[in-house]
Amino acid sequence: MNLIRIAPDKEKAKNILEMIGLIEERINTQYKIKFAPLIISDYYEIIKELITALLLIDGYKTLSHKDLITYLKLNYLVIDVHEIRLIDTLRIIRNRVTYEGFKIQTDYLEDNKLKYIQIIKKLKSLINKKLK
């Protein structure tokens, strides 16, 4: 894992939380069938940024999305193995959507949406506890 030690930065973490609010607002206003691939990408972006915020609070940063997920897996056991796999699968799908124009069916989004939201809630809870 390639982590860079930095001074803990709670302000950047707070800024990330604000930006996530905007992404969540965009998700809630998009037409689900037409924009399913973009919504999937947005869910990944939210989760990735929340993990980034945790790293910032803990005094680390990385350029690797895989390392973000590994850090989460090793340091935050409240996120279980199934959720880690789901995040990693989401990373792979997001890459395919972004770089290959992969089309996601609305059913996939609907089947996993609540799981993504649950992970997001857990990550936000962890961050908010650390920011207090």
Task: Assign 1 a pLDDT band (cuts: 50, 70, 90).
Answer: confident
For residues 21-48, average pLDDT? 91
Task: Assign 93 a pLDDT band (cuts: 50, 70, 90).
Answer: very high
CATH code assigned at 63: 1.20.120.330
Domain residues for 22? 8-131
**Any domain includes 3:** no
Task: Assign 19 a pLDDT band (cuts: 50, 70, 90).
Answer: very high
**Any domain includes 49:** yes
**Any domain includes 63:** yes
Read off the amino acid at residue 12. Answer: K
Question: Whole-angstrom Cα distance, residue 112 to residue 87?
Answer: 11
pLDDT at 34 over 90: no
Q: Around Cβ 61, how many Cβ atoms within 10 Å?
A: 16
Please, are residues 91 and 44 in contact by the beta-carbon 8 Å criterion? yes
For residues 92-111, average pLDDT? 91
- Backbone dihedral angles phi then psi of residue 40, each to the nearest 5 degrees: -60, -45
Distance of CA 42 to the CA centre of its chain: 8
**Any domain includes 33:** yes
Our count of domains for the chain comes to: 1
Least confident residue range of 20-34, 57-71, 77-91, 116-130: 20-34
Task: Assign 30 a pLDDT band (cuts: 50, 70, 90).
Answer: confident
**Residue whose token pair is 């089309």:** 103
**Any domain includes 2:** no
> Which residue in 74, 130, 69, 56 sits closest to 95, CA to CA?
69
